[in-house]
Amino acid sequence: MQDPDTQAVVEALMVDGAKVRFVGGCVRDSVLKRPIKDIDIATPDPPQRVLALLDDAGIHAIPTGVEHGTVTAVIGKAHFEITTLRKDVENFGRRARVEYTDDWLVDASRRDFTMNALSADPLGRIYDPFDGLADLGAGRVQFVGNAVQRIEEDALRLLRFFRFHAHYGRRTDMDSQALAACRKLAPRLDTLSGERVAGEILRLLQAEDPASVLLTMHTTGILGHVLPAARNFGRLRILSWLEERGLVRDDVHVDPIRRLAAMLTTDRAGAEAVGDRLKLSVIQTKRLVAMAEPRVKIHQDLSRQDIRRALHRVGADEFRDLTLLAWAERRSEDARLSAAETAAWTALLDIALDWRPVELPIKGRDLLAQGVPHGPEIGRLLSLVEEWWEEQDFRPDRDACLDRLRRLPGSAAPPDGGVTG
């Protein structure tokens, strides 16, 4: 609230005496003294008036959702989402026909959870119409009003319930009425777009211990509607522990795609299906596939040469993913790994961190120069030379690789440089 950019926006909105409040996540996270990601502000003024007020103050404004009452103010790199107070007139599932209002309680009643219905005025006074502070303090995630009704308004709230429990819940048991409503309405998840499902699942996976919540979703039959291949919650739990606390390294951090791969029990086709269902990016899906069906097998007893060969084939990033998954799998099977084995797993990460990519000293053009015709034969011969080069721990230089090429059956020039028959 004391940031000059925030104060500039608030002062612009209050110039005619309108009362504005901070709403939603920024209030919730401020109470918990967590980092603030987004600053949302509510006002009784309609969006066109908000645009005019910001323009008068010299603040850049974007009508990001003006038809729904939302304007975004931009000062430098700071973004402020400003929404006019609303009330639902008619609901169509995710979409609702709304009218603007000046009633703060009516607007708060549209929120999903009590902890998200909190608001605060510019002086820091908190308004708590649904006992959200008590729920926040106790780690309870509770819907505003009737849970079934709130989920029927938007099925995404079902996933949000579990995501918020993963990040804010401090109780092992969830609200029984909310859980019953989620179980009853779980088939509605089939109607959600992949992008919306992915947004919630990937955020849930960034929680400190997502496995417990996801296991509950699995046992209640809810997770099967969005991720039927998710079953390995033991591996996910250990991977999350390694990322969060077990390892303190710059090259290991919380990674939702790696965590997603950790709980999947599927093959390449299954991973591709998950990527398609969640509308993941091409890069994200490739990573998921690489972890579901590894190109190299990682274990703690790999020789240094085998490690270097694996790194050459898949690269340091993929090698790190596979190492962490294999380590998590091993530790989920035996929680008491020896110090020597733990050191071996750590050594794999150390070698990956220091790895610098190497390239085969010869290219396809070298084979063309040797008389090998264009076509698949070039790839076959290059693969044979590269396999030999890897076995020699990448030491042979260009001349040695060319000599090896000449000795391969199917190469155009014989080893002595004579004419082929």
Question: What pLDDT is stored for residue 416 in this prediction?
Answer: 53
| Residue 417 predicted with pLDDT over 60 | no
Burial class from Cβ neighbours inside 10 Å (0-12, 13-18, 19+) for residue 39 reads buried
From residue 259, alpha-carbon distances to 54, 256, 310, 328, 346 in Å are 42, 5, 22, 11, 19
Residue 130 CB partners (closer than 8 Å, separation 6+) = 108, 109, 114, 117, 144
Angle formed by the axes of helices 304-333 and 282-292, to 10°?
A: 80
Tokens of 349: 């990460």
The CATH class given to the 1-137 domain equals alpha beta
Q: Which of 30-44, 51-65, 110-124, 170-184 has the lowest mean pLDDT?
A: 170-184
Mean local confidence (pLDDT), 275-297: 97
In the chain, residues under CATH classification 3.30.460.10 are: 1-137
Cα dihedral sign, 320-321-323-327: positive
Contacts 24+ apart (CB under 8 A), 49-55: 50/13, 50/82, 50/84, 53/12, 53/13, 53/15, 53/16, 54/9, 54/12, 54/13
Name the residue with higher pLDDT: 350 or 173: 350
pTM of the model: 0.89
Element (H, E) at 112: none
The pLDDT tens digits for 353-385 are 999 999 999 999 999 998 888 899 999 999 999
Dist. CA 155–CA 254, nearest whole Å: 27
Categorize the per-residue pLDDT at 419 as very low, low, confident or very high, splitting at 50, 70 and 90.
very low
Question: What pLDDT is stored for residue 103 in this prediction?
Answer: 95
The pLDDT tens digits for 37-94 are 899 999 999 999 999 999 999 999 999 888 889 999 999 999 999 999 998 766 555 5
SS3 percent helix, strand, coil of the chain, rounded to 5, is: 55, 10, 35
Dist. CA 205–CA 223, nearest whole Å: 13
| Residue 17 predicted with pLDDT over 80 | yes
Cα dihedral sign, 88-90-93-94: negative
